[in-house]
Structure 1
Amino acid sequence: MSDSRHELIAALNSSLISQQYSPVVARNYCTYASGFLDYLGPRGISVTDVIDVQVEQYLRHAIVLFEKQRGRRPSARWHEVPRSGIHALLRLVHGQWPPAINPTCVADEVRFSICDEYELWLREERGLACSSVAALMWEARNFLAWQIDHGIDGSTGLSISDVDRYMDLRAPKLTRCSLKAVAERLRSLLRYLHTTGRVTTDLSGHIIAPMLYAYEGVPSVLDRSQIVAVLESAKKDKTSAGLRDHAILQLLATYGLRSGEIRHLRIEDIDWRTEAIHVRHHKTRASTSLPLMEPVGEAVLSYLRSGRPLTDAREIFIRTRAPYRKLDKLYSVVRRRLRDAGVQPPGKCGPLSKTVETR
Structure 2
Amino acid sequence: MTKTDREVITELEAVLTSQEYNPVVVRNYCAYARGFLDHLAQQNIPIADVTEAQVEQHLCDAVALFQRRHGRLPGPRWHQIPCAGIHALLRLVQGRWPPTPKASCAADALRFAICDEYEAWLLDERGLARPSIDTLLWEARHFLAWQLERCGAEGPMDLSVEDIDRYMDLRALKLTRSSLKSVAERLRSLLRHLHRAGHIATDLSPHIIAPLLYAYEGVPSILERGEIAAVLESARADKTPAGLRDHAILQLLATYGLRSGEVRNLRIEDIDWRGESIRIRHSKTGACSFLPLMAPAGEAVLAYLRSGRPVTEAREIFMRTRAPYRKLEKLYSLVRRRLRHAGIKPPGKCGPHIFRHARAVEMLRASVPQKIIGDLLGHRSTASTAVYLKLATEDLRAIALDVPGAELLT
**Superposition TM-score tier, normalisation by shorter sequence:** over 0.9
The 2-side partners of 1:210 and 1:150 are apart by: 26
Any conservation in 2 of the 1:154–1:199 contact (CA below 8 Å)? no
Instruction: Give the deviation of 1:347 after TM superposition.
Output: 1.1
Q: 1:309 to 1:216 in 2, by over 3 A?
A: farther
Aligned to 1:71: 71
Instruction: Give the deviation of 1:62 after TM superposition.
Output: 0.4
Aligned to 1:87: 87
The 1-side partners of 2:71 and 2:36 are apart by: 22
Instruction: Give ranges in structure 1 of 5+ residues lacking alignment.
Output: none
Amino acid at match of 2:108: D
In structure 2, the residue corresponding to 1:177 is in which secondary structure?
Answer: helix
In structure 2, the residue corresponding to 1:279 is in which secondary structure?
Answer: strand
Amino acid at match of 2:321: T
Q: Which has the higher helix share?
A: 2
Aligned to 2:57: 57
The 2-side partners of 1:181 and 1:125 are apart by: 21
Aligned to 2:137: 137
The C-alpha deviation readout for 1:169-214, integer Å capped at 9, x for no partner, is 2222222222221111111000010111111111111112223344
The 2-side partners of 1:247 and 1:222 are apart by: 18
The C-alpha deviation readout for 1:287-313, integer Å capped at 9, x for no partner, is 111010000000000000001111111
The 2-side partners of 1:257 and 1:192 are apart by: 34
Aligned to 1:14: 14
Amino acid at match of 2:68: K
Instruction: Give the deviation of 1:159 after TM superposition.
Output: 0.8
The 2-side partners of 1:67 and 1:266 are apart by: 47
The C-alpha deviation readout for 1:139-158, integer Å capped at 9, x for no partner, is 11111111111116334310
Aligned to 2:149: 149
The 2-side partners of 1:273 and 1:27 are apart by: 44
Amino acid at match of 1:235: R
TM-score, normalisation: structure 2:
0.84
Amino acid at match of 2:43: R
Aligned to 2:322: 321
Aligned to 1:103: 103
Amino acid at match of 2:208: I
Any conservation in 1 of the 2:245–2:309 contact (CA below 8 Å)? yes
The 2-side partners of 1:216 and 1:281 are apart by: 26
1:177-196 matches, within 5 Å, as: 177-196=178-197
Aligned to 1:256: 257
Compare 156-165 and 337-346 and name the one that shifted more.
156-165
The 2-side partners of 1:252 and 1:296 are apart by: 9
In structure 2, the residue corresponding to 1:27 is in which secondary structure?
Answer: helix
Q: 1:155 to 1:46 in 2, by over 3 A?
A: closer
Amino acid at match of 2:119: E
Instruction: Give the deviation of 1:35 after TM superposition.
Output: 1.2
Any conservation in 2 of the 1:177–1:217 contact (CA below 8 Å)? no
Any conservation in 1 of the 2:148–2:156 contact (CA below 8 Å)? no
Aligned to 2:391: none
Instruction: Give the deviation of 1:125 after TM superposition.
Output: 0.7
Aligned to 2:345: 344
The 1-side partners of 2:94 and 2:348 are apart by: 45
Compare 301-310 and 211-220 and name the one that shifted more.
211-220
The 2-side partners of 1:50 and 1:305 are apart by: 43
After superposition, the CA RMSD in angstroms is: 1.6
Asked which structure has the greater CA Rg, the reply is 2
Instruction: Give the deviation of 1:216 after TM superposition.
Output: 4.7
Q: 1:195 to 1:218 in 2, by over 3 A?
A: farther
1:195-344 matches, within 5 Å, as: 195-216=196-217, 219-344=220-345
Amino acid at match of 1:257: L
Q: 1:218 to 1:315 in 2, by over 3 A?
A: farther
Compare 211-220 and 292-301 and name the one that shifted more.
211-220
Amino acid at match of 1:262: V
Amino acid at match of 1:224: R
TM-score, normalisation: structure 1:
0.96
Any conservation in 1 of the 2:147–2:156 contact (CA below 8 Å)? no
The C-alpha deviation readout for 1:34-61, integer Å capped at 9, x for no partner, is 1111222222222122111111111111
Any conservation in 1 of the 2:59–2:79 contact (CA below 8 Å)? yes
Relative contact order higher in (CA < 8 Å, ≥ 6 apart): 1
Any conservation in 2 of the 1:154–1:198 contact (CA below 8 Å)? no
Amino acid at match of 1:324: Y
